[in-house]
């Protein structure tokens, strides 16, 4: 059974995902709050790792990034092995900052919605003085590169950020960009990404300490020791959990999600999502077991009645 928002009673075209307990409706168009990943479906793959193939669940990195040299933006920087366009600034030979794949899912169970973002990256979260960047979200499809919310991953205290995970309301004054963090340092660093409107933006990478926590949602971040995909070195698994009512109030019009990978934003991946939560039913085996217990009890009662 597909879980359709009460305010959107249009017919939804259903598609089943092959992953257990996950399914999506895929409908293109702004007028339907449908289950799908709509944008950032490029087939770019880092030469260092396995090929990423985009699907309705998987976003392959097609987000362009550019470098700074000191305080000067270099729109065609090509030193240190950097390839102009998609890729990480400090590529070197091992591509240490690449994030080439995002797997997103949205499910609803008993009125609770879970947005899960699985980032497959070659960055270990602590390299050359850089740490995992925080995740930023926009609920306005008209301004998908102006982010109103952030998910703190909990490792940015060194940059004035949060030391614990959480979901926050943010403004430009309560975030730090990679340029703000790294402009005082020498050498080359990332900092700009090409947004969905074609403009260049300084990458937001840190939810700072002054941001307001949104207590209606709970964020969870895990970094599994064993990566299920051998094509990538590390997995960062981010979950945002809240009630269906609260989630729908914020993101019923769609969602733009941005991750700068490291707080220097040497690589970035952005996706536009337009989906509806898919209802996850109770496990069938549990229902059958319960029915069997009830049936056995009825049979025993009937036998006792006949014996009497």
Cα–Cα nearest to 267, from 234, 240, 298: 234
Rg (CA), the chain: 22
The confidence score (pLDDT) of residue 40 equals 31
The confidence score (pLDDT) of residue 10 equals 28
Paired strand residues for 144? none
CA distance 308 to 303: 9
Query: How confident is the prediction along the chain (308 residues), in pLDDT tens digits per residue?
Result: 222 333 332 222 222 232 222 323 322 222 223 333 333 322 233 333 457 888 878 999 888 887 776 667 766 666 655 555 555 555 555 567 888 899 999 999 999 999 999 999 888 888 778 899 999 999 988 889 999 999 999 999 999 999 999 999 999 999 999 888 887 776 667 778 889 888 889 999 999 999 999 999 999 999 887 767 777 789 999 999 999 999 999 888 889 999 999 998 888 999 998 877 777 887 755 444 445 545 555 555 555 555 55
CA distance 98 to 100: 6
The confidence score (pLDDT) of residue 69 equals 67
The confidence score (pLDDT) of residue 95 equals 63
Which residue, chain included where needed, has tokens 């092995």? 81
The confidence score (pLDDT) of residue 11 equals 25
The confidence score (pLDDT) of residue 280 equals 81
CA distance 14 to 35: 8
Q: Return the C-alpha torsion angle 35, 39, 44, 46, nearest 10.
A: -70
Half-sphere exposure of 144 (CA within 13 A, CB side): 21
Q: Return the C-alpha torsion angle 180, 185, 188, 192, nearest 10.
A: 0
Cα–Cα nearest to 284, from 21, 17, 19: 21
Which residue, chain included where needed, has tokens 């949205």? 106
The confidence score (pLDDT) of residue 51 equals 73
Give domain limits for the chain.
14-283
Q: What are phi and psi of 194, to 5 degrees?
A: -85, 115
Q: What are phi and psi of 180, to 5 degrees?
A: -65, -40
Per-residue tokens: 151: 């998910």
CA distance 272 to 255: 6
């Amino acid at each position: 059974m597909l879980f359709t928002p009460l305010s959107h009673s249009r017919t939804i075209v259903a598609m089943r995902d092959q992953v257990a307990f996950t399914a999506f409706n895929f409908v293109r168009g702004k007028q339907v709050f449908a289950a799908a990943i709509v944008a950032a479906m490029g087939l770019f793959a880092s030469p260092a790792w396995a090929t990423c193939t985009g699907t309705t669940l998987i976003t392959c990195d097609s987000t362009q990034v550019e470098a700074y040299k000191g305080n000067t933006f270099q729109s065609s920087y090509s030193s240190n092995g950097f390839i102009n366009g998609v890729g990480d600034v400090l590529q070197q030979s091992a591509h240490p900052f690449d994030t080439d794949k995002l797997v997103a899912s949205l499910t609803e169970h008993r009125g609770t919605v879970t947005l899960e973002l699985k980032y497959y990256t070659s960055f270990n979260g602590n390299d050359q003085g850089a740490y995992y960047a925080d995740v930023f979200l926009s609920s306005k499809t008209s301004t998908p590169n102006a982010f109103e919310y952030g998910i703190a991953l909990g490792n940015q205290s060194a940059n004035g950020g949060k030391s614990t995970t959480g979901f926050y309301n943010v403004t430009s004054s309560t975030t730090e960009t990679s340029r703000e963090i790294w402009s005082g340092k020498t050498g080359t660093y990332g900092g700009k990404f090409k947004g969905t409107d074609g403009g260049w933006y300084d990458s937001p990478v840190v939810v700072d300490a002054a941001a307001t926590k949104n207590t209606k949602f709970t964020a969870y971040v895990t970094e599994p020791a064993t990566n299920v995909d051998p094509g990538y070195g590390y997995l960062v698994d981010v979950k945002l959990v809240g009630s269906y009512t609260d989630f729908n109030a914020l993101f019923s019009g769609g969602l733009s999600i941005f991750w700068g990978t490291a707080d220097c934003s040497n690589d970035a991946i952005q996706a536009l999502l337009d989906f509806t939560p898919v209802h996850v039913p109770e496990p069938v085996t549990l229902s059958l077991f319960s029915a069997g217990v009830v049936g056995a009890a009825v049979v025993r009662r009937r036998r006792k009645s006949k014996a009497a």
